[in-house]
Amino acid sequence: MAATFPQYFKRVFDDYQVLVQVNPDTFTGIELIVHPDGKIEKTEMEFDEEIFDDLAEDKFIHCNVLEFQLHLAKTK
């Protein structure tokens, strides 16, 4: 069985942005909230099978894995 890779999404709001990593095999992932002051909140998430539809409806767009990983590294 071929390995699948996580997918990455983001949405920029007025004064913060949200980045989401979704593992399509297990519907688990990470949500990062990046605040204007540079603070980053990290939350481990469990999604349902409709996560991709939900993200599209909420106007999230695909983002680069590097962008996500750079923000994630700041949470450690």
* pLDDT tens-place string over residues 27-49: 999 999 999 999 999 999 999 99
3-state DSSP assignment of residue 37:
coil
Evaluate if residue 3 carries a pLDDT over 80.
no
Assign 54 a pLDDT band (cuts: 50, 70, 90): very high
> Which range marks the domain in which residue 58 is found?
7-73
Containing H/E element for 76?
A: none
Q: Is residue 2 part of a domain?
A: no
> Is 50 a member of any domain?
yes
Does any domain span residue 57? yes
Residue 1 lies in a domain: no
For position 12, what pLDDT does the model report?
97
In a domain, residue 38? The reply is: yes
Spacing of C-alpha 63 from chain mean position? 9
pTM for the full predicted model? 0.93
Contact 6, 23 (CB under 8 A): yes
When the pLDDT of each residue in the chain is averaged and rounded to a whole number, the result is: 95
Q: For position 2, what pLDDT does the model report?
A: 67
Domain count, the chain: 1
